[in-house]
Chains A and B, each alone.
Chain A
Amino acid sequence: DQQVKQNSPSLSVQEGRISILNCDYTNSMFDYFLWYKKYPAEGPTFLISISSIKDKNEDGRFTVFLNKSAKHLSLHIVPSQPGDSAVYFCAASGILRNSGAGSYQLTFGKGTKLSVIP
Chain B
Amino acid sequence: ETGVTQTPRHLVMGMTNKKSLKCEQHLGHNAMYWYKQSAKKPLELMFVYNFKEQTENNSVPSRFSPECPNSSHLFLHLHTLQPEDSALYLCASSQTKTSGQPQHFGDGTRLSIL
A: residues with CB less than 8 A from B are: 2, 4, 31-32, 34, 36, 41-46, 49, 51, 89, 93-96, 99-100, 102-111
- A43 and B42 contacting across the interface, CB-CB below 8 Å: no
Instruction: Knowing A43-B106, A46-B104 are in contact, say whether A104-B99 is a contact too (CB < 8 A).
Output: yes
**B92 neighbours in A (Cβ, 8 Å):** 43
Task: Tell me which of A2, A43, A107, A108 has the highest count of chain B C-beta atoms within 10 A of its own C-beta.
Answer: A43
- A99 and B99 contacting across the interface, CB-CB below 8 Å: no
Report the minimal beta-carbon distance from A52 to chain B, rounded to whole angstroms: 9
- A2 and B102 contacting across the interface, CB-CB below 8 Å: no
**A110 neighbours in B (Cβ, 8 Å):** 40-42
- B99 and A43 contacting across the interface, CB-CB below 8 Å: no
Q: Please classify the interface of chain A as helix (H, G, I), strand (E, B), loop, or mixed, using the class held by over half of its residues.
A: strand
- Alpha-carbon distance between A109 and B6 when the two chains are bound, in angstroms: 23
Q: Which of B41, B98, B100, B108 contacts A49 (CB 8 A)?
A: B100
Cβ proximity bits B34-46 to A, threshold 8 Å, 1 near / 0 not: 0000001111010
- Alpha-carbon distance between A42 and B105 when the two chains are bound, in angstroms: 9
- Alpha-carbon distance between A46 and B42 when the two chains are bound, in angstroms: 16
Query: Quick check: is B58 within 8 A (CB to CB) of the other chain?
Result: yes
Report the minimal beta-carbon distance from B5 to chain A, rounded to whole angstroms: 10
**Residue in chain B with minimal CB distance to A96:** B56
Report the minimal beta-carbon distance from A22 to chain B, rounded to whole angstroms: 15
